[in-house]
Structure formats: C-alpha cells, structure tokens
Structure 1
Amino acid sequence: MGGWSIGVPVMRLEGKVAVITGAGQRRGETIGNGRAAAVLFAREGAKLLLANRSTGSLEETRDLLRKEGFDAECVIADISNEDDCAALVNTAVSKFGRIDILHNNVGIGGPDGDTVKIERRAWDNIFNVNLTGAMQISKHVLPIMRSQRSGSITHVSSVAAIASYPLIAYKTSKAALHEFVRWLAFENAPHNIRCNVLMLGLIDTPMAIEGYHEATGTPRDTLRKQRDANVPMGRMGTAWETAKVAVFLASDEASYITGAVIPVDGGVHARVG
C-alpha cells in the first residue's frame, strides 16, 4: 500500500477526493478497470465518489470496498447527459468540499466496423459517451479544480485509437479524445491542473471477454489465447495493472506530467506506431 518513508508506508492519495466514473462493471470472471481503480484509490487513501449508469454493479463495487474496510459515495450518472455531470460534481463538492481527481473510465463500443454499413445512431451513441461525455464531465469538474488551483484529470482511452482495428466509430472517438485531452492540458496548465490519457491495450476484463464471447460464441479460453497472441509481451494485461498506472497519474508523483498519452498495452502501440 503506497510508497515508503523511513520504513513507514505512505498512502499516495491520502486526503484527496477522487471522482471515478464507470466504477461498475458487467459480470465476469475477472475485475474491470473501473472497479480495480476504485479499490486501489481507496487503498491509497482517497475519499471516493463513484459513478455508474447502473445501480447493481455500482453497489457491488461499494460492497467490495466495504469488505476491505473502505466506503464510498455512489451516484447513478450517465456522462452523456450534461445534467447528470453537473449533479455528480455538485454531489462531490457537497459531500467532500473539493475534487482533486477525476478518473473517467467510461467508454463504450457498439455495432461498428465497415464505414459503408455503420448506422448513424450507433456512431452518435459512441461519440456521445466517449467524447462528448468526456468533455461534459471535464467541463463541470474544471471550475472546482481551477478554484483550488490544483487537480488531476485522467481519461481512459484505447490503443484502438492508433491501431488498425475495424472499429471506425470507437477508434475515431478515442483518437479525438486524445486531442481533446491535449488541449485540456495546455488550457489548464496555468491553473496547476494536469490532464492525461490512459491508453489501454488488450486487458482481461469482463467487458472485453464477456462482450466478445456473447457476440461471437467463441469460448472464453479461446478468446484469451487469441488476444494473448496479439500482444508483444505474450499476454493480456489485468485491470490491477491499469489501476496502478491510474494511481500514479493521480498522485503527486506525476506532478510534472500533463498532456501525455500513457500506453498500458504490453507493447501493442510500439508495433503499430
């Protein structure tokens, strides 16, 4: 837990207030990125406000935290709805008085692929969540952070943004997210607010494995072997590995890092870059 100082463990997020969106997950055999981030942020001392579109999975995350002796405020919110974003921020400030960290783990895919076949509704839905949602939650968090003269914003993206995956709407929304966050970093650096992208590769999460399994009928073990084979390191990552980098970016250890796209992908970006 945390770092060390003269033999004493130091919690890297102690006293900080963190808002984590996408803190629930679908059911599956492994832990998802949002839930793992919530657990590690709590272990590092952060006070948490967790948001998710569905109640059940969000409560499961809070139950997991409580088993470890932690707790969190929970809010049902859809970041593609600006009123939800405003209410989420207001709840955090009302409860904790400040917001030090925004970790936006929300992202969706959908019917996607051949540009000739993609439906406008699917395109709009993906962009409304992955890009417009990221803008809206940032828009409402930033005034709080500017008034504090400090803050850290991390948006979660995907290596699909730079790789040749047949996911035209998804990859385009994530590539646009990178540029949006670079602008956020430039715009808000004078306010001492850091803004970065966590670009994830092939991670063994329920969203990835269960989603493909349900869509294609491919056995889970077969999917894992296929995905492992596409990673230079020879294996998928875990949500615990992504959460460790999220903690670092949110902590004062990353105090001079802003506008960065940090790949956590086992080397996939090096192959396609």
Structure 2
Amino acid sequence: MDQEARTFDRSLQGRVALVTGAGSRADGVGNGRATALLLARDGARVLLLDSVAEWAQATQEMIAREGGQAQLQVCDVSRDADCREAVEQAVRTWGRIDILVNNVGIAGPAGTAVDLDLQDWDMALRVNVTSMMLMARHCIPHMAAQRRGAIVNIASVAGLIGGHPSLLYPTSKGAVVNMTRAMAAHHGAQGIRVNCVAPGMVHTPMVYARGMSDAIRETRRKRSFLQTEGSGWDVGHAVRYLASDESGWVTGAVLPVDAGATAGRHSY
C-alpha cells in the first residue's frame, strides 16, 4: 500500500521553550546550556530557568550573540510557586508553551539505605523528580489547549543499570524514566509527546566543577563502545530532536546518549 511521504522542517520558529537548569556552574557548556542554545538556533524563544541568575545570564548572552531570543528567570524548581510563576511568565511574554525541557538534577546524598542522610534524600528527590512533575503540571494545560507540546526529561544511564555507589542518584533517575512513560500515556491523546534522554559519561561543568583526576576521566571514557567522551552538546542535540517535529511519532521513548555504554559488554 502506498503511504504518503512525511517530511519535517527542523525549524522551531515561533515555538516557546522552557529549559530548567539552563546555566552552567563553571565555564563551559553543560546539558541545559547546550539545549537552550540549540533550541534558540532553530528559532525557538527560550525562557532560561536556573536557581543562580549569573549562570542563566551567561547562557542568555551566548544566545543573544547568535541573534536568538531568550529571557532568564531565577527559579527554584523544587518549589511549586516558582514553577507556576515561570510558566506564567513565559505565557505573559510569548503567549504560549510548546516545549518543556526538565534538565535540573543533582547528585544528592552519598551512601546506601543504611547510612544516607534522610533530610538530604528528601530534598534530592524533590529536586530530581518532583520538580519535573511540577513543571509539567503547569505546562501541560497550555500544551493541551493548543493540542501540541513536547516534554523532554533528562534522566541518566544510572537510572537504567545498576552499580552506582550511591542509592539516591540511580533511584531518582529511574523514577524519571518511568515518569516519562507514564506521562506519555496520560497525555498522548492531547497531542503532547513526552520523552527522556539518558546521558552517559558526559564531561560537563557539573561533573568537572567537583574535581576529577585524569585517571578517573580516562576510566569513564573507556566505559563505552566508542571509547570517547561525550559533552553537553551531545545531550543537547538529542533533546533538540525530541523537541522538534522530526520526532513527531516518538513518545514514551528513553534515548540513551552514552556511546553504547548501556548496549552491552565490550567484545574482545
């Protein structure tokens, strides 16, 4: 049977995107900054959300130098009031919401169930998981009203495989993976696509700002089939694809961006 060919313009002209964690805590380009820059390059107007104004401002200046449109807003995504105000600000400014990128995440407390700090556990879950629900909670009604929207959640390969030394981080990222699938089922009939990117051992400001020896960096690099190191740009390009019409028939997907680290063991 003949099927009508479907082609898609990668342009995001006229779209409005919210990116959480849009700054970088050190010089360089992290996942949120790369995503914001790439969305703006394709024509989206981007609201840059971060808890530290200076971090988001640097991203805004980079977008402005390239001729893109972006505004920044200080936002603690663990607080419902901040999330609601961020969405309302985007609607007041640009009249719509098309794309939500839930990028914020922290390492959280170290330790196992036996010895981790309970207060830090609660806070980290709120930042890594609850914040994504809160942002979606306020964006989805606007997306549903226009019968179109794209949400991209950032998880981690730590949410797909075991072996992490701490309990909190893989637990929270695993929750993001299945929250993505649940949201996709809940809102697909409204024209809203919900997908997830699971980065591997990328070398971003969030990673190297904590300090990393050359030996550890080399070990991380060798964990993948490609034996190469990823960057925020690798994650950003995956997000841009999932936010665009090019992925119009993709929802509920979990896309590892990890140079093959989760695909299996090395062959020798």
Fold shared, TM-score > 0.5 on shorter chain: yes
Of 129, 132, 148, the match for 1:131: 129
Unmatched 5+ residue regions in structure 2? Answer: 1-8
SS at match of 1:31: coil
SS at match of 1:27: coil
Mapping for residues 183-202 of structure 1, pairs under 5 Å: 183-202=182-201
Matched, 1:235 2:225: no
Counterpart Cα distance in 2 of 1:112 and 1:231: 24
Matched, 1:73 2:66: no
Q: CA deviation at 1:250?
A: 0.5
1:149-185 per-residue CA deviation (whole Å, 9 max, x = no partner) reads 1100001000001222112111111111111111110
Q: 1:209 touches 1:224 (CA, 8 Å); kept in 2?
A: no
Q: Which residue of 2 aligns with 1:252?
A: 245
Counterpart Cα distance in 2 of 1:11 and 1:195: 18
1:249-269 per-residue CA deviation (whole Å, 9 max, x = no partner) reads 000010110011111011111
Q: CA deviation at 1:49?
A: 0.8
Q: Which residue of 1 aligns with 2:3?
A: none
SS at match of 1:98: coil
Q: CA deviation at 1:129?
A: 0.6
1:84-122 per-residue CA deviation (whole Å, 9 max, x = no partner) reads 010000001000110000011111112223221101012
Of 150, 158, 161, the match for 1:160: 158
Mapping for residues 1-273 of structure 1, pairs under 5 Å: 11-28=10-27, 30-163=28-161, 164-211=163-210, 213=211, 218-219=212-213, 221-271=214-264
* TM-score w.r.t. length of structure 1: 0.90
Counterpart Cα distance in 1 of 2:203 and 2:107: 16
Q: CA deviation at 1:240?
A: 1.0
Q: 1:149 touches 1:192 (CA, 8 Å); kept in 2?
A: yes
CA RMSD across the alignment: 1.3
Counterpart Cα distance in 2 of 1:260 and 1:12: 22
Q: 1:11 touches 1:43 (CA, 8 Å); kept in 2?
A: no
Unmatched 5+ residue regions in structure 1? Answer: 1-9
Q: CA deviation at 1:71?
A: 3.1
Q: CA deviation at 1:11?
A: 4.9
SS at match of 2:263: helix
Amino acid at match of 1:231: S
Q: Which residue of 1 aligns with 2:4?
A: none
Q: Which is richer in helix?
A: 1
Runs of 4+ in structure 1 over 4 Å off? none
Q: How many residues align?
A: 256
